[in-house]
Homo-oligomer: A and B are copies of this chain.
Amino acid sequence: MAESPRIYTAALIVIGDEILSGRTHDKNIAQIASWLGVQGIRLKEVRVVADDEAAIIAAVNALRTVHDYLFTTGGIGPTHDDITVDAVAAALGVGVEIHPEARAMLEAYYAPRGGLNEARLRMARVPAGAELIANRQSGAPGIRCGNVFLMAGVPHITAGMLDALTGTLEGGAVLLAETLGCWVQESEVADLLRETERAHAGCQIGSYPFFREGRAGANFVVRSTEPDGLAACVAALDAGLVALGRSVIAGGI
């Protein structure tokens, strides 16, 4: 038997009352999940917690030791409800310090915008020993403390921070995916899905039904780290659907 490849995993903590109140629709989960996939890292768990120090500390400590990487989004701005830096520092058991490079970046950014005040200087505070994550979108950087990455809450700023991290994190085999779409009720082909998955070790088949244009359909997503295994499983599923008299739309509907 070949040795199993090392799987790299990550967790994400979305911090913010605005998500838990339903006021803001989170966009960072899907964005970070997709980005991690490309890095060869699997997002295994997400927790959304309130702007509450105890809740953030508990989530950080539950997740940072069981995953290779932990990301947070939100709560690194200049106002009183931005408590992520303090909470992460407390979780890691370190103090909070002003990062000189972050201070310099903020000074340069705010020089033509009224200058650095106490609130803006809050954005230079980091857990002791942390490094910065560049942010070309605005003055405030993201923060890396070992395997914990503190990102912005605003999705396009997080996108810039992810861009700066691209290619810098060690990952493993990328989880490949291929989709077959079919105008069929998933409940008509449940046996085929189960048996095809069972016959192809290392492959998972997800079934995602929908109802559009008055018709029931489903997309079947086959996932594997092995390109040959993936292709064989997709071919078997395709042939199975055709044998049941269904036409298959490669790439999904």
Contacts and interface: CB of A to CB of B under 8 A. Distances in A.
A29 B48 contact: yes
Interface in A158-189: 175, 177, 185-188
A18 interface: yes
Contacts of A142: none
Nearest to A36: B22
A230 to B, nearest CB: 14
Interface residues of A, number: 69
Given A117-B187, A119-B190, A20 B43 contact: yes
B207 A81 contact: yes
Interface in A21-61: 21-27, 29-37, 42-51, 55
B45 A45 contact: no
Given A177-B21, A188-B114, A188-B117, A154 B210 contact: yes
A22 B17 contact: no
A42 to B, nearest CB: 8
9 contacts: A22-B31, A22-B32, A25-B27, A45-B47, A78-B187, A79-B190, A79-B194, A79-B207, A119-B187
Contacts of A14: 46
A55 B45 contact: yes
Given A177-B23, A207-B79, A48 B49 contact: no
Given A48-B29, A48-B45, A81 B206 contact: yes
A100 B43 CA distance: 38
A117 B46 CA distance: 35
A45 B62 CA distance: 14
Top 6 A-B residue pairs of the complex, sorted by shortest distance between their CB atoms: A119-B190, A22-B33, A22-B34, A46-B48, A80-B194, A78-B187
